[in-house]
C-alpha cells in the first residue's frame, strides 16, 4: 500500500533531479573554455515502483539520480596521445635539423664555403701567375686559413647544437618527473573520493590534461581497472579504480608509487666528436641511486625526447659493428679483443673515440686504446681494442676476463644503431671532407720543395697537445693505424688548420719541385698547377670535387629537413583530426547547454507545481476535513 504522501515525495524526486541537472549544466557552461574539461551529465533512472495489490500492479515513485558522469571516449584519448607523441618526435627532429641546415646555408653566403672555395681557387691562379711573389704566397695561405676556420665554425656550431639538445633532454626529464608526481597526487585524491561513493570528475579531467602533456614528451599507455574488495567469486567493486600510466612498457605511476627518471652523464664518448658528458636516461633507484637504463632508441617509443636523442646520437643506422674474431687475456696491452669488419672501413670515415666503451656479446667493456690494420684494398677491417676492463661488483673497474668459447664469433658493437642522420653522421661527413682533402693536397705539397730547397711539409694539419703540428705524410706506407699516433685520424672538422710554420713563414709554402729550386727557376709552378687541378678533380671524392662534396652534404641535409617537415605536418593534421573527434564527444556546446537550461527549468517548474498541488490537497485533507 503506497504512503499517503507518495505524490509529494514523487514531486520532490523530480525537483531534486532537475535541481541537479540545472547545477550540472551551470557547471558545464562555467567551464566551457577550460582546457581538458569534459562535459558532465546527470544520470537517472525511474525510482523503484511500489506494489499496490491492484489490477494495475505497480505505482511509480518518481525519478532517482544515479550519478554525474563525464562524456569522454577512452579510444579517442589513446589515439590522440599516440598521434601527439609521433608529431612531437617529428617536430623535434625537424627543428634541430633545420638548425643544422641554417649553419650550412649561411656558409653559402658571401662569407660561406662557396665564396671561400672560390677565393681559394682565385688566389691559386694569382699564385700560379706570380709563384715567387711573397704577397701572392701570403694571400693564398690566408685564403686557405679562412677556409679551415670556416669548417671549424661549422663543426663548433654542430657541437653547440648537440649541447643544446643535451640540456633540453635534461629539462624534459625533469618535466616527466613533475608530471608523474602530480598524477600520483591526483590518483590518491580521486581514489579517496570515489571509494566513498563521491564524484571526482573535475580531478579526473585535471589528470587527463597531465597525461596529454606527458604524451608530447614520450609514448604513454594508460589502463584503468576497478579495485575490488575480496577475491575470487566473492570480489565486489569498491567504486574506485586503479589508474596506471606507462611510458613505453615501463610503469611510471599508479596508485602506489610515482617512479622518477634521472639523467646521468656518460663517462666515455661513443663518437669521436661527441661532447663530454652527454646524458643517458635511467630509472632512479633507492636513495637516488642509478637504476636500469631507459632506452629511448626503441621502436615502440615516440615523443619529443626520442626525436632529440635521434638528432643528438643519429648515425644513420651505421654504428661500428663487427664479429669478435679473437680475445686474449694478460697480453702486453692487457685484455684485448679483435673485431673483424665484414666490410672494410675507409680511414677517412673512422669515427672511433680514443677511449670509450664497446659491447662484446651483449656486455659492456671499457678500452683505453685501439689499433686497426689495413686489408689488401686499403680499408681498415681488423680492430684490436686494448686494456679492456669491466665494472665489478664493488662498482670499480677490473681487468676483463673472457670465455673464448662463448664470446668468439659473437657481435661486437659500439654505441647503438640510430636510424637518423643526426649530428654524429654529419660530423663524420665533415671529418671525411677534411681528411680526404688534406691528404690529397698534402701528397702534392710534400712531393715538392719550399723556397729554401727543403722538402715540403704538410700544408693542412693540426697541432698536438704540445702545440706542435702533426706530421701526417711519411715516406713509408703504414700497415696500421693506432689511436695515439700521428695519422689523418687526428684531423677533424673541429681542429683542422693550416700548418703553423707555413702560416708564419711564406717561404715554407711549396709551389714547385726540388729540381726547379736547384736550377733557380723562380717562376716554376709545377706544384701549384697540380693543386689547381686538384680543386677540379672529380675523383677526389665519390661525390666529385670538394665543392660538390660539400654541396652533397647540404643537399642531404635539405632532403632530411623537407622529409621531417612533411612528416610533422601530416602527423599534426592527424592529431588535430583525432582531437576534433574527441572534442565532439567531450567538449561543451554553450548553445546546447543553454537549451538544456530552458528544458530543465521547465521541468523544475513542473515539479514545483506538483508539490504545490499536492500541498493544497493535503491541506484540504488534513486541515479542512472533518
Asked if pLDDT for residue 113 goes beyond 90, the answer is: no
Mean pLDDT calculated for residue range 245-269: 93
Q: Which range among 304-308, 452-456, 600-604 shows the weakest confidence by mean pLDDT?
A: 452-456
Q: Do the Cβ atoms of 494 and 156 come closer than 8 Å?
A: yes
Position 441 scores a pLDDT of 94
pLDDT in tens, 363-378: 899 999 999 999 888 8
Asked if pLDDT for residue 108 goes beyond 60, the answer is: no
pLDDT in tens, 540-564: 999 999 999 999 999 999 999 999 9
Position 402 scores a pLDDT of 82
Percent above pLDDT 90 for the chain: 64
Rounded to 5 degrees, φ, ψ at 433 are -60, -50
Antiparallel, parallel or unpaired: β 250-253 and 236-247: antiparallel
Domains of the chain (ranges plus CATH)? 1-71+590-626 (no CATH), 91-165+423-470+493-565 (no CATH), 320-414 (2.40.30)
Residue 22 binned pLDDT confidence (cut-offs 50, 70, 90)? very high
pLDDT in tens, 86-106: 999 999 999 999 999 988 865
Rounded to 5 degrees, φ, ψ at 283 are -75, 140
Position 106 scores a pLDDT of 58
d(CA 366, CA 316): 24
For the chain, give the number of residues. Answer: 626
Position 191 scores a pLDDT of 92
Grid cell for residue 220: 604513454
Beta-bridged to residue 413, according to DSSP, are 321, 359
3-state secondary structure 218-268: CCEEEEEEEEEECCHHHCEEEEEEEEEEEECCEEEECCCCECCEEEEECCC
Asked if pLDDT for residue 458 goes beyond 90, the answer is: yes
Q: What is the mean pLDDT of the chain?
A: 90
Position 344 scores a pLDDT of 87
Residue 107 binned pLDDT confidence (cut-offs 50, 70, 90)? low
Burial (CB count within 10 angstroms: exposed 0-12, middle 13-18, buried 19+), residue 204: buried
Residue 109 binned pLDDT confidence (cut-offs 50, 70, 90)? low
Position 111 scores a pLDDT of 62
Asked if pLDDT for residue 452 goes beyond 90, the answer is: no
Residue 626 binned pLDDT confidence (cut-offs 50, 70, 90)? low
Q: Which range among 53-62, 168-177, 299-308, 320-329 shows the weakest confidence by mean pLDDT?
A: 53-62
- Residue 585, C-beta contacts closer than 8 angstroms, at least 6 positions apart: 71, 72, 73, 76
Position 51 scores a pLDDT of 79
d(CA 443, CA 271): 28
Position 405 scores a pLDDT of 74
Mean pLDDT calculated for residue range 296-320: 92
pLDDT in tens, 499-529: 999 999 999 999 999 888 888 887 888 899 9
Q: Taking the CB of residue 464, how many other CB atoms lie within 10 A of it?
A: 12
Residue 474 binned pLDDT confidence (cut-offs 50, 70, 90)? confident
Residue 2 binned pLDDT confidence (cut-offs 50, 70, 90)? low
Amino acid at each position: 500500500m503506497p504512503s499517503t504522501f507518495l505524490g509529494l515525495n514523487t514531486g520532490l524526486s523530480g525537483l531534486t533531479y532537475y535541481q541537479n541537472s540545472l547545477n550540472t549544466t551551470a557547471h558545464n557552461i562555467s567551464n566551457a573554455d577550460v582546457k581538458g574539461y569534459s562535459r558532465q551529465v546527470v544520470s537517472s533512472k525511474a525510482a523503484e515502483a511500489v506494489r499496490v495489490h491492484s489490477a494495475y500492479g505497480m505505482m511509480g515513485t518518481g525519478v532517482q539520480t544515479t550519478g554525474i558522469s563525464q562524456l569522454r571516449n577512452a579510444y579517442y584519448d589513446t589515439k590522440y596521445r599516440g598521434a601527439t607523441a609521433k608529431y612531437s618526435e617529428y617536430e623535434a627532429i625537424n627543428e634541430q635539423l633545420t638548425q643544422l641546415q641554417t649553419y650550412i646555408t649561411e656558409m653559402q653566403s658571401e662569407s660561406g664555403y662557396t665564396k671561400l672555395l672560390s677565393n681559394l681557387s682565385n688566389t691559386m691562379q694569382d699564385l700560379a701567375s706570380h709563384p715567387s711573389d711573397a704577397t701572392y704566397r701570403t694571400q693564398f695561405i690566408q685564403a686557405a686559413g679562412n677556409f679551415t676556420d670556416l669548417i671549424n665554425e661549422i663543426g663548433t656550431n654542430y657541437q653547440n647544437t648537440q649541447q643544446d639538445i643535451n640540456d633540453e633532454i635534461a629539462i624534459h626529464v625533469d618535466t616527466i618527473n613533475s608530471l608523474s608526481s602530480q598524477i600520483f597526487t591526483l590518483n590518491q585524491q580521486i581514489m579517496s573520493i570515489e571509494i566513498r561513493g563521491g564524484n571526482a570528475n573535475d580531478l579526473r579531467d585535471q589528470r587527463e590534461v597531465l597525461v596529454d602533456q606527458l604524451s608530447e614528451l614520450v609514448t604513454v599507455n594508460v589502463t584503468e581497472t576497478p579495485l575490488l574488495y575480496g577475491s575470487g567469486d566473492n570480489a565486489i567493486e569498491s567504486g574506485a579504480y586503479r589508474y596506471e600510466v606507462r611510458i613505453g612498457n615501463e610503469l611510471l605511476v599508479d596508485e602506489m608509487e610515482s617512479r622518477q627518471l634521472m639523467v646521468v652523464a656518460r663517462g666515455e664518448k661513443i663518437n669521436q666528436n661527441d661532447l663530454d658528458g652527454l646524458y643517458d636516461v635511467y630509472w632512479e633507484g633507492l636513495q637516488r641511486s642509478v637504476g636500469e637504463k631507459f632506452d629511448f632508441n626503441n621502436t615502440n617509443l615516440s615523443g619529443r625526447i626520442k626525436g632529440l636523442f635521434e638528432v643528438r646520437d643519429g648515425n644513420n643506422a651505421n654504428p661500428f659493428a663487427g664479429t669478435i674474431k679473437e680475445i686474449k687475456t694478460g697480453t702486453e696491452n692487457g685484455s684485448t679483443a679483435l673485431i673483424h669488419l665484414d666490410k672494410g672501413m675507409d680511414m677517412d670515415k673512422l669515427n672511433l673515440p680514443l677511449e670509450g666503451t664497446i659491447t662484446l656479446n651483449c656486455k659492456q667493456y671499457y678500452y683505453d686504446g685501439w689499433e686497426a690494420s689495413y686489408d689488401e684494398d686499403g680499408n681498415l677491417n681488423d680492430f684490436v681494442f686494448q686494456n679492456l676492463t669491466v665494472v665489478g661488483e664493488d662498482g670499480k673497474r677490473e681487468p676483463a676476463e673472457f670465455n673464448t668459447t662463448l664470446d668468439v664469433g659473437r657481435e661486437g658493437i659500439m654505441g647503438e644503431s640510430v636510424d637518423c642522420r643526426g649530428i654524429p653522421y654529419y660530423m663524420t661527413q665533415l671529418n671525411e671532407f677534411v681528411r680526404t682533402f688534406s691528404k690529397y693536397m698534402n701528397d702534392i705539397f710534400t712531393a715538392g720543395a719550399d723556397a729554401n730547397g727543403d722538402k715540403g711539409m704538410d700544408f693542412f694539419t693540426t697541432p698536438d697537445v704540445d702545440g706542435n703540428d702533426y706530421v701526417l705524410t711519411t715516406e713509408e706506407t703504414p700497415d696500421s693505424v693506432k689511436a695515439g699516433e700521428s695519422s689523418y685520424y687526428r684531423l677533424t672538422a673541429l681542429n683542422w688548420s693550416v700548418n703553423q710554420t707555413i702560416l708564419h713563414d711564406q717561404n715554407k709554402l711549396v709551389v714547385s719541385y726540388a729540381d726547379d729550386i736547384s736550377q733557380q727557376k723562380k717562376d716554376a709552378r709545377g706544384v701549384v698547377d697540380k693543386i689547381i687541378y686538384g680543386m677540379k678533380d672529380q675523383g677526389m671524392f665519390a661525390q666529385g670535387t670538394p665543392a660538390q662534396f660539400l654541396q652533397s652534404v647540404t643537399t642531404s641535409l635539405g632532403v632530411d629537413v623537407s622529409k621531417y617537415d612533411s612528416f610533422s605536418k601530416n602527423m599534426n593534421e592527424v592529431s588535430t583530426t583525432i582531437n576534433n573527434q574527441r572534442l565532439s564527444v567531450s567538449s561543451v556546446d554553450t548553445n546546447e547547454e543553454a537549451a538544456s537550461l530552458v528544458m530543465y527549468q521547465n521541468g523544475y517548474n513542473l515539479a514545483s507545481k506538483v508539490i504545490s498541488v499536492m500541498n493544497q490537497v493535503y491541506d484540504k485533507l488534513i486541515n479542512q476535513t472533518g
